[in-house]
Amino acid sequence: MKQRKPMPKAVVLALIVVGSLIFAFLGYTILVKPQKKKVVEVNAQIAEKQATLDQYRAEAAAVKALVAPKIRVADVYRLARAMPATEDMPDILIELDDVAKSAGIQLDSISPGGASGGNGFQIVPITVQFNGDYYSVTDLLYRLRTLVSVRHGQLEATGRLFAVKNVTLTPSGPGLSANVSLETYIYSPAPPPAPAAPVAPVATSTDTTSTAATTTTASAERSTP
**Measured between alpha carbons, how far is 190 from 119 in angstroms, rounded to an integer?**
7
Model confidence at 158, pLDDT cuts 50, 70, 90, reads confident
**Measured between alpha carbons, how far is 43 from 45 in angstroms, rounded to an integer?**
5
Distances (CA, A) of 28 to 22, 115, 116, 129: 10, 87, 86, 89
**Measured between alpha carbons, how far is 184 from 123 in angstroms, rounded to an integer?**
6
**Measured between alpha carbons, how far is 132 from 103 in angstroms, rounded to an integer?**
10
Closest Cα partner for 75 from 146, 145, 147, 156?
A: 156
CATH class for domain 75-187?
A: alpha beta
Return the higher-pLDDT residue of 120 and 43.
120
pLDDT confidence of residue 96: 93
Strand residue runs (E) in 140-187: 148-151, 154-157, 162-172, 175-187
13-22, 83-92, 93-102, 169-178 — which is least confidently predicted?
A: 13-22
Q: Which residues of 166-188 are buried (b: 16+ CB within 10 A; e: fewer)?
A: eeeeeeeeeebebbbbbbbbbeb
Model confidence at 151, pLDDT cuts 50, 70, 90, reads confident
pLDDT confidence of residue 94: 93
Model confidence at 217, pLDDT cuts 50, 70, 90, reads very low
Return the higher-pLDDT residue of 41 and 72.
41
Instruction: Tell me whether residue 140 is exposed, middle or buried, using C-beta atoms within 10 angstroms of its C-beta: 0 to 12, 13 to 18, 19 or more.
Output: buried
